[in-house]
């Protein structure tokens, strides 16, 4: 479960990115986080992944209190999350298999489990034939599916996707979003930051709209009010 209570965040340069957000995402939910540029969406992602600390308020993620987490607990908290980035962030000199294997090794998974888990996850994202390919040999959609597989491989409670369709055409975007919905149906909480209004409306999921560091709308069914600009 993710819970933000009266969270405020101000960067060192004085920019107030989050001005008091209270938000709860239950286990197993699928939530779109939308809003214009500079609204604070990316800061929320950074707060959730422990990259930045809030100036005020409390953040609880999967049983960890991120607002006063110790340095030693941060890796443990991050193991409950799977993060997907707009630019995929795959390691080009490693094969698809190795891109997945090294994140499993990073959390101490034994070789036997790695050999068993990776084919399963690659099958889930329909890339079982690309295990030995390098990221540069794949299309954008395939690379993003590898990124999803990497986020899934350690079996996290929550997937956080930051503009996952930003570099994909509409058809691939729909395909990818459907995959995230499928993952959600298997029990994983999914939080998607996006500016693709059509996609958001199409899936009829919970939509939280952020503007100027505040939540201005939280409803189910599609985007309501304001503008969405990436």
Partner 1 sequence: MAKRHDFQYFFHEGLSNMFSHGFMTFAAIGITVACLLIMGTFTLVAVNADAQLRDLEQENEILAYVDETYTSQQAQALQSKLERIEGVTTVTYISREEAMEDFKAEYADDEIFQDLDPQILRDRYAIKIGDLEQIQQIKREVESVEGIADVSAYEELASGFITLRNVATVICVALIAILFVVSVFITSNTIKLTTFDRREEIAIMRMVGATNGFIRWPFVYEGFMLGLLSAIIAFLLQWGLYEAVAQGVASNDTLQLIRVVPFSQLWAAVAGTFAGAGILIGVGGSLSAIRKFLQV
Beta-carbon contacts of residue 171 (< 8 Å; ≥ 6 apart): none
Q: Which is nearer to partner 1, 107 or 224 (CB)?
A: 107
Q: Which is nearer to partner 1, 71 or 171 (CB)?
A: 71
According to DSSP, residue 139 is labeled -
Site for partner 1 contains 138 (CB under 8 A): no
Residues in the interface with partner 1 (CB under 8 A) total 25
Judge residue 20's burial from the number of C-beta atoms within 10 Å of its C-beta, 0-12 exposed, 13-18 middle, 19 or more buried.
middle
Q: Which of 10, 19, 42, 49 binds partner 1 (CB under 8 A)?
A: 49
Site for partner 1 contains 75 (CB under 8 A): yes
3-state DSSP call for residue 149? helix
Each residue 153-182 as x (binds partner 1 by CB under 8 A) or -, in order, gives: -x----------------------------
CA dist., res. 64 & res. 15, Å (int)? 27
- In sequence order, what E strands does the chain have? 2-10, 16-25, 30-34, 56-61, 64-65, 81-84, 158-162, 189-193, 206-211, 214-220
Each residue 83-122 as x (binds partner 1 by CB under 8 A) or -, in order, gives: x-----x-x-x--------xx-xxxx-xx-----------
Interface with partner 1 (CB under 8 A): 49-50, 71, 74-79, 81-83, 89, 91, 93, 102-103, 105-108, 110-111, 150, 154
């Amino acid at each position: 479960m993710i819970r933000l209570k009266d969270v405020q965040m101000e960067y060192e340069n004085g920019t107030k990115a989050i001005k008091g957000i209270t938000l709860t995402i239950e286990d197993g939910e699928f939530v779109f986080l939308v809003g214009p540029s500079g609204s604070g969406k990316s800061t929320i992602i950074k707060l959730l992944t422990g990259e930045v600390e809030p100036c005020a308020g409390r953040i609880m993620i999967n049983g960890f209190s991120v607002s006063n987490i110790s340095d030693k607990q941060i890796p443990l908290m991050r193991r409950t999350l799977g993060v997907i980035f707009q630019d995929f962030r795959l390691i080009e000199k490693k094969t698809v298999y190795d891109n997945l294997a090294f994140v499993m090794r990073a959390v101490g998974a034994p070789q036997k489990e790695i050999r068993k888990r990776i084919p399963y996850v690659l099958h889930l994202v329909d890339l079982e034939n690309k295990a030995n390919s390098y990221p540069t040999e794949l299309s954008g959609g395939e690379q993003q599916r590898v990124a999803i597989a990497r986020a899934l491989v350690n079996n996290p409670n929550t997937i956080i996707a930051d503009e996952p369709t930003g570099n994909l055409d509409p058809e691939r975007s729909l395909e990818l979003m459907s995959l995230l919905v499928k993952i959600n149906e298997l029990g994983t909480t999914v939080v998607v930051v996006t500016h693709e209004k059509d996609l958001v409306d199409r899936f009829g999921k919970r939509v939280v709209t952020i503007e100027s560091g505040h939540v201005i709308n939280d409803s189910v069914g599609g985007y309501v009010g304001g503008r969405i600009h990436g």
